[in-house]
Amino acid sequence: MNEREKMQNGLPYDATDKELLSDRTRCKDFCLEYNKTSFKNRNKMNNILKKILGKTGTNFWIEPAFYCDYGYNIEIGENFYSNHNLVILDCARVKFGNNVFIGPNCGIYTASHPIDSKERNTGLEHAKPIKIGNNVWIGGNVCILPGVTIGDNCVIGAGSVVTKDIPSNKIAIGNPCKIYKEISGEQT
């Protein structure tokens, strides 16, 4: 199993592997091109995003600046919108459903490092996937940590640090993020 396969399967992997470095360099170059493209040229910007991301819907928009590690591990559904300064560390799969809205300055991190400093200093790390359901609104300055699933029809309050799964139909807030209340009624 190569380092990319280890990374995508949640096993410890060497982040300094030449193939992974090449993949990150390619992605960072595309992110730089995207962030430097004139806002007047939205078609060009979306075409660059299609080169970066593993899968997209047809209707999506990410406000610059946008940064990610690999891009090919990110899947966005229909009607995806992110405000400025989205950072996705996509060492593992990051899947967004349809109608996801993300506020400014959010970080979505699949990557993690060993607690033990000797092990951490070897360059090994691991990653856990993140899944965000349909009809989710993520407020500004939210941080979503490795392995988290956020269910359908959720609202994550601004400034929250999401360390654990949030079931569907919930408003969740805080650091650490906790369920505040149930969202009742028919959701569309």
Q: Dump pLDDT digits (tens) for 72-108.
A: 999 999 999 999 999 999 999 999 999 999 999 999 9
Question: What pLDDT does residue 120 have?
Answer: 86
Q: Which of 24, 28, 84, 113 is catalytic?
A: 113
Examine residue 188 and state whether it is found in any structural domain, yes or no.
no
Find the CATH number of the domain harbouring 15.
Answer: 2.160.10.10
Per DSSP, the residues of the chain read --HHHHHHTTS-EETT-HHHHHHHHHHHHHHHHHHHS-TT-HHHHHHHHHHHSSB--SSEEEPSPEEES-STTEE--TTEEE-S-EEEE-SS-EEE-SS-EE-SS-EEE-EE--SSHHHHTTTEEEE--EEE-SS-EE-TT-EE-TT-EE-TT-EE-TT-EE-S-B-SSEEEETTTTEEEEE--S---
Q: Let me know if 84 is a catalytic residue.
A: no
Examine residue 187 and state whether it is found in any structural domain, yes or no.
no
Domain range for 26 is 3-182
Query: The whole model's pTM is what?
Result: 0.94
Split into its structural domains, the chain has a count of 1
